[in-house]
Amino acid sequence: MNIKRSLRNNGLLELGFVLMIAALYMVFLYVPTEKHTGIVQRIFYFHVPVAWVSFLAFFVTFIFSILYLSKREMKWDAIACASAEAGVIFTTLVLITGPIWGKPVWGIWWTWDARLTTSLVLWLIYVAYLLVRGFATEPARGARFSAVVGIVGFIDVPLVFLTVNLWRTQHPTTIIFEGGLTTPMLVTLLVCIAAFTVLYVLLTIQSANLKSLDTALKRLKSMHTG
Amino acid sequence: MNKSFVKVLTVFRKDILAELRTREIVVSVLVFALLVLVIFSFAFDMGAGMGETVAPGILWVALTFGGVIGFNRIFAMEKENSRLEGLMLCPVDRAVIYWGKLAGSFTFMLAVAVIITPVFLVLFNLPLLLPRLALVIVLTVIGFAAVGTLFSALAINTRARDIMLPILFLPIVVPVIVAAVKATAPVLAGAPWADMLTWLQVIIAFDIIYLVVATLVFEFVIEE
């Protein structure tokens, strides 16, 4: 599967570069400092896009896990796994940027509200996905088992969110929907979301391509020596 | 439809008979759950008033970790002596195997809960006749068994089978543990039904969702 060619041709890499530069400029130079919380609020422009991407990544893993189990082509598994790896990275970033923002603003590193708990459980499920692949006795089994984990785990995420939400909520209600964001802030946020989404897509395609090549190489080697 | 039910019962009966002879699962899980109860009671300083706050949590930690030990055995016993291959050679729908093993693991966990809960109630000076607690326990054990049986079959086929099951199982059952603890607290405090109704609904929803999902996905775990 030659995704690499499309990577060069369709300009996604260039678009991602431009978006990221724009995002950095907007976050650090363009957008005005927020009145109440000050400079630390700028983490919000990284924290939210990264959180969104981590959920997108898990959704992609879910879809491609289903595809892999029904079609059994390794390319689907490659994308599912690549997405899960990117997802772990982005979820780790969420869990790091969140407390960094939270401590100066709300005085606490952590609280067991719906969003934080769901992010933590999401991280744990991703890690379980990767561990199953690591501990499998053979790659085909690892692919199959982790696909099961990808499906079962994704269904769990809304359940965790709803349950913990019933239990307690301390996370600020989404500012976007309350209209509490001024236009420059909204635009900056959207640009950051776009930048990180493109980054995620690029990382996943690169990684999936590498895995596909690796699988093909292993197959060629076994044919050669066999 | 009737034939499938008979096959499920056959698998279930095989597990029950094996367990009645050796009693290995129920006894080991029972002892472990009891130890967890005791250790956690020491871990939380049992001052006045603390007992009521932490009691539901301690019960469910004991049942959860006991469950993890127990579910490990559900398919470990099949892996030994190649009994799993024998089971798979039977011309039955893979879902039948799942439901048969599920019935077995549910029964074992319930047996452990039935013995551990009175011990727990005694240790915490709580009333012994609590039918609502029985309801919470039965519903939650269904959820545990649904997820645990599936992941037991998965973990047994990996290299780190003992550690893989808790890593897979525990994040997934977070909703049902939260709901079980929240539903148990009103029962122990003698509060009305209304306080626990929402949580029971959460547990029931979890059970239904995971019974369906696990039935659909089990064949991929157990195929060779």
DSSP letters spanning B23-69: -HHHHHHHHHHHHHHHHHHHHS---TTHHHHHHHHHHHHHHHHHHHH
Write down the pLDDT at residue A169.
Answer: 47
Q: Greater confidence, B79 or B101?
A: B101
Is A144 in Cβ contact with B220 (below 8 Å)? yes
Write down the pLDDT at residue A2.
Answer: 53
Residue whose tokens read 């998965």: B154
Write down the pLDDT at residue A179.
Answer: 42
Two structure tokens written together for B171: 């994040």
Report the domain count for chain B: 1
Q: Check if the beta carbon of residue A129 is closer than 8 Å to that of residue A80.
A: no
Percent of chain A past pLDDT 90, that is, above it, reads 53
Whether B76 has a pLDDT exceeding 60, the answer reads yes
Coil vs helix vs strand at A2: coil
What domain range is A129 assigned to? 45-210
Write down the pLDDT at residue A58.
Answer: 96
Give the A:B interface size as CB pairs under 8 Å.
86
What average pLDDT does range B194-198 have in this prediction? Answer: 85
Beta partners for residue A38, in sequence order: A34
What domain range is B37 assigned to? 2-222
Is B174 in Cβ contact with A125 (below 8 Å)? no
Write down the pLDDT at residue B18.
Answer: 84
Whether B135 has a pLDDT exceeding 80, the answer reads yes
Interface list for B 106-165 with A (CB within 8 A) = 147, 150, 154, 157-160, 164
Q: Residue A159: which of A116, A113, A127, A118 has the closest Cα?
A: A118
What average pLDDT does range B35-53 have in this prediction? Answer: 77
Q: Greater confidence, A16 or A33?
A: A16
Tell me whether 0.95 is exceeded by the ipTM. no
What average pLDDT does range B70-99 have in this prediction? Answer: 82
Partner A contacted by B206 (CB < 8 A): yes
CA distance A122 to chain B (A): 8
Buried b or exposed e, range A38-52, using 16+ CB within 10 angstroms = eeebbbbbbbbbbbb
Partner B contacted by A131 (CB < 8 A): yes
Q: What is the pTM of this model?
A: 0.88
Classify residue A221: in a domain, yes or no.
no
Partner A contacted by B1 (CB < 8 A): no
Whether A223 has a pLDDT exceeding 80, the answer reads yes
Alpha-carbon gap, residue A78 to B174, rounded angstroms = 29
Is A156 in Cβ contact with B175 (below 8 Å)? yes
State the CB neighbour count (10 A cutoff) for residue A130: 17
Write down the pLDDT at residue B130.
Answer: 86
3-state helix, strand, coil in chain B (%, to 5): 85, 0, 15
Beta partners for residue A34, in sequence order: A38
Q: Check if the beta carbon of residue B143 is closer than 8 Å to that of residue B206.
A: yes
Of B154, B182, B199, the CB nearest to A145: B154
CA distance B211 to chain A (A): 11
Q: Mutate which of B157, B211, B218 to test chain A, going by most A C-beta atoms within 10 A?
A: B157
Q: Greater confidence, A180 or B150?
A: B150
- Of A17-21, A36-40, B125-129, the range with the highest mean pLDDT is A17-21
Whether B209 has a pLDDT exceeding 70, the answer reads yes
Write down the pLDDT at residue B205.
Answer: 95
Two structure tokens written together for A91: 């979820």
A57, HSE (Cβ side, Cα atoms, 13 Å): 34
- Residues in contact with B163: Cβ distance below 8 Å, sequence separation at least 6, in sequence order: none
Write down the pLDDT at residue A6.
Answer: 53
- Residues in contact with A27: Cβ distance below 8 Å, sequence separation at least 6, in sequence order: A42, A45, A46, A188, A192
Helix spans in A107-182 (H): 114-135, 139-167, 175-178
Classify residue A65: in a domain, yes or no.
yes
Whether B24 has a pLDDT exceeding 90, the answer reads no
Write down the pLDDT at residue B200.
Answer: 93
To the nearest whole number, what is the mean pLDDT of chain B?
A: 88
What average pLDDT does range A145-166 have in this prediction? Answer: 92
- Residues in contact with A154: Cβ distance below 8 Å, sequence separation at least 6, in sequence order: A58, A59, A61, A62
Q: At what angle do helices B131-155 and B174-189 cross, to 10 degrees?
A: 160
Q: Greater confidence, B10 or A65?
A: A65
Q: Residue A77: which of A88, A85, A92, A67 has the closest Cα?
A: A67
